[in-house]
């Protein structure tokens, strides 16, 4: 990967999309601070100086149906780098990196992933994996329900952290079969009572597994439902 560093930028994903549109690949956009960080579902993403705000531009030879594996790979890579930094990082389906609080499924969010892509039905043209990690941030500077590497385990060397994250991401994108097994090992959602909000309506039940394409399998009162995308909440 080649790295483009910004002390301050609107959104690394926006800059990465621009580069992707110009034909770039295997470029990483990294920033100390974002002034217009974006989260999933059109939410804002607070990204002050001290975090790890990074977007990876790739041009994978896959169909859009397999793209969720890239997002899962990014969350596995992020959780792995965080674990090496001493944080008990786990993954909430599909791709939030969280730290458990107690042992009934409660958690605080450490990192989030926003994947964006362009392509046709049979092939992806480019894919941008945007990864935001609350790294060296004070607990009181974080949104509600969030935590940071600093709060959990003390400051991390951000260069080293990004290097490990990219090494792991690179490994998994070259071995997509390994992504779901690794994800399962880190999953906090499996075994939880969940509610998943999706366009086709909500699904409530026990999360029992993920499929090989990364969809969540939920055991409901009316049988098993496989959910490929949605907002997942752990219930008590």
Pattern 72-111, ligand BTN, x by CB under 6 A: ------------------------x---------------
Applying CB under 6 A, does 11 fall inside the site for ligand BTN?
A: yes
Measured CA to CA, the distance from residue 184 to residue 209 in angstroms comes to 8
- Please, which residue, 227 or 232, has the CB nearer to ligand BTN? 232
- Do 12 and 29 meet the contact criterion of CB atoms below 8 Å apart? yes
CB nearer to ligand BTN: pick between 55 and 147: 55
Which residue has tokens 């599909």? 94
Alpha-carbon distance 6 to 37, whole Å?
13
Strand ranges for the chain from DSSP E: 2-9, 27-34, 52-58, 90-92, 96-100, 107-119, 124-133, 193-197, 203-210, 216-220, 223-227, 231-235
Task: Using the rule CB under 6 A, give the single segment among 48-56, 60-68, 115-123, 185-193 that binds ligand BTN.
Answer: 48-56
Could you say which of 55, 71, 147, 192 contacts ligand BTN (CB under 6 A)? 55
Cβ-based nearer residue to ligand BTN, 114 or 165: 114
Alpha-carbon distance of 149 to 51, in angstroms, equals 9
Number of other CB atoms surrounding residue 69 within 10 Å: 21
Identified binder of ligand BTN from the candidate list 23, 43, 104, 167, rule CB under 6 A: 43
User: Is position 132 an interface residue for ligand BTN (rule: CB under 6 A)?
Assistant: yes
Cα–Cα distance measured from residue 47 to residue 141, given in angstroms and rounded to the nearest whole number: 10
**For ligand BTN, the closer CB: 16 or 205:** 16
Q: For residues 17 and 27, is the Cβ–Cβ distance under 8 A?
A: no
Q: Residue 101: how many CA atoms within 13 Å on its side-chain side?
A: 11
- Residues 154-193, mask of contacts with ligand BTN (x by CB under 6 A): ----------------------------------------
Shortest distance in whole angstroms from residue 70 CB to ligand BTN: 14
Contact residues for ligand BTN (CB under 6 A)? 11-13, 34, 37-40, 43, 45, 47, 53-55, 96, 112-114, 130-132
């Amino acid at each position: 990967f080649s790295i483009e560093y910004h002390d301050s930028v609107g959104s690394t994903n926006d800059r990465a999309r621009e580069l992707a549109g110009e034909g770039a690949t295997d470029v990483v956009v990294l920033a100390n601070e974002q002034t217009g960080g974006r989260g999933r579902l059109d939410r804002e993403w607070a990204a002050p100086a001290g975090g790890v705000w990074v977007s990876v531009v790739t041009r994978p030879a896959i169909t859009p149906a397999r793209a969720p594996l890239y997002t899962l790979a990014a969350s596995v890579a992020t959780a792995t780098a965080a674990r090496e930094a001493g944080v008990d990082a786990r993954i909430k389906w599909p791709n939030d990196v969280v730290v458990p609080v107690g042992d009934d499924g409660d958690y605080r969010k450490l990192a989030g992933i926003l994947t964006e892509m362009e392509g046709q039905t049979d092939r992806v043209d480019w894919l941008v994996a945007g990864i935001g990690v609350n790294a060296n941030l004070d607990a009181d500077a974080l949104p509600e329900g969030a935590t940071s590497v600093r709060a959990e385990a003390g400051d991390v060397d951000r260069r080293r952290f990004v290097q490990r994250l990219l090494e792991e991401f690179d490994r998994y994108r070259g071995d997509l079969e390994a992504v779901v097994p690794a994800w399962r090992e880190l999953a906090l959602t499996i075994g939880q009572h969940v509610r998943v909000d999706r366009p086709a309506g909500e699904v409530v039940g026990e999360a029992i597994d993920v499929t090989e394409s990364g969809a969540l399998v939920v055991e409901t009162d009316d049988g098993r439902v496989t959910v490929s995308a949605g907002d997942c909440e752990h219930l008590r």
